[in-house]
Amino acid sequence: MELVGTWTGRTACLLQEAMRMTNEVFAEHLGISTRTITRWHSSPEMTHRIEVQQILDTAYEQAGEAVQRRFAILTRPESHSIAAQALRVAIAVVVRGAEVLLVCRRGDASLRWQFPAGMVKPGGLSADVAVQETVAETGVHAAVRRHLGERLHPVTGVIADYHLCEYLAGEAVNSDLVENSAVAWVAINDLSKFIPADKIYPPIMAALEDA
């Protein structure tokens, strides 16, 4: 049995797949929230905090040989590449006047400041997920104005589906203290100070300039 050196969002989700558990069952098994599991799916490159690393170590060690064999197969390069690209994430670009809404992820050194986002389950509607996750993460109610397109995200490797949204109501607060360290309205002109310009999907910038 080989232990995992460092657990990431991707390897944690592959352990879930090897254990053949739903998000809800896996969350209960680990003693964490279902929303946290969903966040792992949408941020496969994130590195977990030390206490979560320990929880996953224990889950892996106690899983049994059958699960460990499936996990070994799933973590082969050709396997996790396919798994990562199969994930679809709905991303909400919420505009309020000359500002755009951002969240700061914990333990995600590769891309700390991001737009609100959530994993789209099979059969789910990306636009609905974008709106729902925005409310769940930030307390801000928004409506989808238009679809901006999709791409394979250059950092996370998931299929990112972008929606331009307009602010409706609500104060921006950090409603997910486990996954996020901050929530902020950022001036559109300052967006590149939070997210590197080369990581921003070009249609987003075009839409924000029009807004």
Span 71-96, average pLDDT = 73
CA distance 93 to 101: 7
* pLDDT for residue 75 is more than 90: no
The dihedral of CA 45, 49, 50, 56: what is its sign?
negative
Residue 1 has pLDDT above 50, yes or no: no
**Can you give the pLDDT at residue 211?**
66
Fold of the 87-210 domain? Nucleoside Triphosphate Pyrophosphohydrolase (3.90.79)
Residue ranges, CATH 3.90.79.10, the chain: 87-210
Per-residue pLDDT tens digits for 98-152: 999 999 988 766 668 999 998 888 778 999 999 999 999 999 999 999 999 998 8
Q: Given pLDDT bands bounded at 50, 70 and 90, which one contains residue 81?
A: very low
Provide the pLDDT for residue 198. 84
pLDDT digit string, tens, across residues 14-66: 899 889 888 888 999 999 888 888 888 877 778 888 889 999 999 999 998 88
pLDDT band at 191 (very low <50, low <70, confident <90, very high): very high
The pLDDT value recorded for residue 168 is 97
Higher pLDDT, 28 or 154: 28
Contact (CB, 8 A) for 89 and 42? yes
39 closest CA partner among 13, 71, 21, 19: 13
pLDDT of the residue at 84: 44
pTM greater than 0.75: no
171 has a pLDDT exceeding 90: yes
Average pLDDT over residues 190-210: 90
Per-residue DSSP letters for 189-202?
Answer: GGHHHHS-GGGS-H
